[in-house]
Amino acid sequence: MASQVLVAANRGPLSYVLAADGGLSARRGGGGLVSGLSAALAQQPEALWICAALSEADREAVRRGVAEPGVRMLDIDPTVYDDAYNGIANSVLWFAHHHLYDSPRTPVFDAEFRRQWASYVAYNRAFAQALAEEAADGACVLVQDYHLALVPGQLRELRPDLRIGHFTHTPWASPDFLRMLPDDVRRELVGGMLGADRLGFHTREWASGFISGAAMDDATGVAEPQQHGVFHTGYGERRFTEVTPYPLGVDADELRALAHRPEVDDKLAGLRAEVAGRKTIVRVDRTELSKNILRGLLAYRELLTVHPEWRGRVVHLASAYPSRQDLAVYRAYTESVAELAAEINAEFGTADWQPVLVSVQDDFARSLAAYRLADVALVNPVRDGMNLVAKEIPVVSEAGCALVLSTGAGAYAELREDALTVNPYDVTDTAEALHAALSMPEAERAERTKRLAAAATALPPAQWFTAQLADLRG
């Protein structure tokens, strides 16, 4: 039966595991996008989620015709998938949107890049075709993220009757970074996005960045950039693509319930024993270049150097769980994080005090326990679409936490008033903010946390999704 509401995302709500006896079992999919969308779609039982098969077990499930209701997995050729996901989405688009290029060396757009770009186009086309097959007349389609930037345009060519939305979970590259892309690729990228009726971003800044980037290039067909979108002449007619911020927030009730399960209580007891009554600075991230974990550790080292009164009185709990380990640059970053943490422990540690406790397990229960224990939350990305950790910690922390927040996080737009805000490149500024956060009087901390939690829960996932759907239906 054709669907009225469809979602397309690289990751799906579940992934499969292949047992030694050949049996397949389904597990919940990973990542922030998946948790947000899963919560939102729980209220849209008729919706269809189209995703890629990410592993051999997923591909086997597709081949065997194993199907969960509301999910269609696409078995994309593994080489095409690897080029599209690792080669283009995570090594080119991710780097451009997060300003991660190290310009003396990267990017390099050569013949290999062209081959990978062709795969990215094909991977997007597989999604566009599946959506075209599955969508009912006039259905609403919500495409997710930079992996699928070309889908809106490809789908519009196939099914002009559909209402097409696209949401970007990352920032949008500033004009200087967008201009690094080869001209034809940049136009294809922006033109693909403009196939949508509506484009969503986490903040006004990223939305405006898209509008100005699209307008700087005549060949994208953008005739009139407006504050809330662009008129353009792509797809054979003059059309308006609306560009709107939908700042994703957290669901307070759900998060607090998750944070008070017995499993989390056990982890909390373990952490309390390790911390032994000291103050805590908590961070939780994927080991991701944009999260700025190294400068966070350097700031902690500077704190212990410049404010020696904190030695022995604070513990930095850093969860940095592995991510994108297929990419050499991520593996090297992960090693650097471990090395720097070890250096700090060697420099300042004593027989009964380990200054940094790094956890590399993707252990959500332990992360929630750390949230509950947090005196200070450190969220210092160089650039980040939103950063839900900045929103989750104030909701869950027990005694109230002081939030040290980078100006580069999307969450800065909503949380800046009650956070201690820092330039993510300025290690000294960050060290001083950590000192101020640790020194903040309890009453002030509690008041700020209350306001941070209110701002963080303003647009929980289900409302975030239904707001987009309502706007798309227009």
Residues that bind ligand F6P (CB under 6 A): 11, 31-33, 145, 169-170, 323-324, 385
- Rank residues 32 and 70 by Cβ distance to ligand F6P and give the closer one: 32
CB closer to ligand F6P out of 30 and 312: 30
Minimum CB separation of residue 384 from ligand F6P in Å reads 8
Nearest CA among 354, 352, 356 for reference residue 320: 356
The residue (of 158 and 258) whose beta carbon lies closer to ligand F6P is 258
Q: Report helix, strand or coil for 311.
A: coil
- The CB-of-31 to ligand F6P minimum distance in angstroms stands at 3
**Distances, alpha carbon 61 to alpha carbons 18, 20, 57, 75, in Å:** 9, 15, 6, 9
- Contact between 29 and 11 under an 8 Å Cβ cutoff? The reply is yes
| Secondary structure (3-state) at 407 | coil
Beta strand pairing call for 3-8 and 222-226: unpaired
**Of the two residues 348 and 364, which places its CB atom closer to ligand F6P in the complex?**
364
Number of H helices and number of E strands within the chain? 19, 17
| Residue 324 Cβ vs ligand F6P, minimum distance, rounded to whole Å | 6
We find the least distance from the C-beta atom of residue 227 to ligand F6P, in angstroms, to be 26
Contact (CB, 8 A) for 375 and 351: no
Listed residue (435, 437, 401) closest to 303, CA to CA: 435
Can you tell me the distance from the alpha carbon of 101 to that of 373, in angstroms, rounded to the nearest whole number? 36
Q: Which two tokens stand for residue 296?
A: 């966070």
Phi and psi torsions of 38, nearest 5°: -60, -45
Nearer to ligand F6P, 234 or 247 (CB): 247
Closest to ligand F6P by CB, 245 or 312: 245
What type of residue sits at position 447? E
Residue whose CB is less far from ligand F6P, 187 or 202: 202
